[in-house]
Amino acid sequence: MSLNPADIFARHLPDPLPDPIAAEVFAPSNIALAKYWGKRDKALNLPMNSSLSISLGGLGTTTRITGAAQDTLIFNGQALPSASAAAAKIWSFVALFRPNGPPLRIETQNSIPTAAGLASSASGFAALTLALNAAFQTKLPLETLSQLARFGSGSATRSFWHGFVRWAKGDAPDGSDSHGHALSVDWPEFRIALLPVDTGPKAQSSRDGMAHTLATSPLYAAWPAQAEADCDTVERAVKEQDFRVLGPIVEANALAMHATMMAARPALSYLKAASWARLDALWAARAEGLEAYATADAGPNIKLIFLASQTDDVQTLFPDATVIAPFNERRDPSAP
């Protein structure tokens, strides 16, 4: 018998839930250094491969939940109409946690500058899961919350911790071992730069993009094993704080993911001409000695990783870059 998401939530939650209390939580955004691309189980949102990310310090989502007379969703200060696709996704996730009401007011605020072009679904669903856990006083461990947040967005599994986080793909058919865990690595010199290319909404969701790549790309067959091996290499390099190994593998992993999409039929390209212009500029500077490497997700924006010694050169090359020091701007999830 196949499991559905409601069964998984019911395993972890009391029935009935207690009345909600007011709760406010924070979850950081994250960027994958070894990417997740493709699901082995769509209903349970289980990934083909493990992934590993860095959380973005104080950049992320703050979510506040209170009881209300009717369900209300406020997103960055604006009421979100319940007919919108974003609201539908959020309420269907809330319904898994709270199958029998009561009505809630959910206010969510992103501290990620919209102009930085960073997706907010990872921190958004992690903060929502933390807020529901706090409001209903369910006191679930972070690993369990990470597992539940997976039903909102895969990358949300990695937004429950500060620093480097690995989302193990897991093997259990019910997905109980497919959640994030923190790597205890403190790397104060580690830097990220966000290079905006186009900050409008993306043309195709990652959910649709993954499904299309899996169904039609002849290159996808090579991805799961390579991605798993890359994730292991990234984990080792992070633990050894070996940037010479880390930088090249992170860039190669991201470009391999984009190559699987470009080979889809018809082709899927989140990278635009302006993304390639950024990559060309980076590669030319690297030939002159700059030690920075690129990554990109399901959108045209480019992100760089480098160490503190390279910050001035990165900022000279890309004056519009937002530079983040994730270990210096630490903000622990759920402690607003």
Alpha-carbon span 43 to 213, nearest angstrom = 18
Question: 2: exposed, middle or buried (C-beta count within 10 Å: 0-12, 13-18, 19+)?
Answer: exposed
Report which secondary-structure segment, H or E, holds 86. Answer: helix 85-97
Of 9, 26, 36, 136, the one binding ligand PMV by CB under 6 A: 36
Of 298, 302, 304, 321, the one binding ligand PMV by CB under 6 A: 298
Closest C-alpha among 37, 30, 65 to residue 156: 30
Of 61, 63, 121, 129, the one binding ligand PMV by CB under 6 A: 121
First to last CA, the chain: 41
- In whole angstroms, the minimum distance from the beta carbon of 175 to ligand PMV comes to 14
Both tokens of 309, joined, read 């010694």
Q: Looking at beta carbons only, is 20 or 170 nearer to ligand PMV?
A: 170
Binding mask 42-61 for ligand PMV (x = CB under 6 A): ---------x----------
Binding mask 71-110 for ligand PMV (x = CB under 6 A): ----------------------------------------
**Contact positions with ligand PMV (CB under 6 A) in 6-35:** 32, 35
SS3 label, residue 165: strand
Of 62, 123, 153, 275, the one binding ligand PMV by CB under 6 A: 153
Of 56, 297, 326, 334, the one binding ligand PMV by CB under 6 A: 297
**Contact positions with ligand PMV (CB under 6 A) in 204-263:** 206-207
Helix, strand, coil: what percent of the chain each, to 5? 40, 20, 40
Spatial neighbors of 1 by CB under 8 A, at least 6 apart, are: none
Q: Which residues bind ligand PMV (CB under 6 A)?
A: 32, 35-37, 51, 121-122, 153-155, 206-207, 297-298
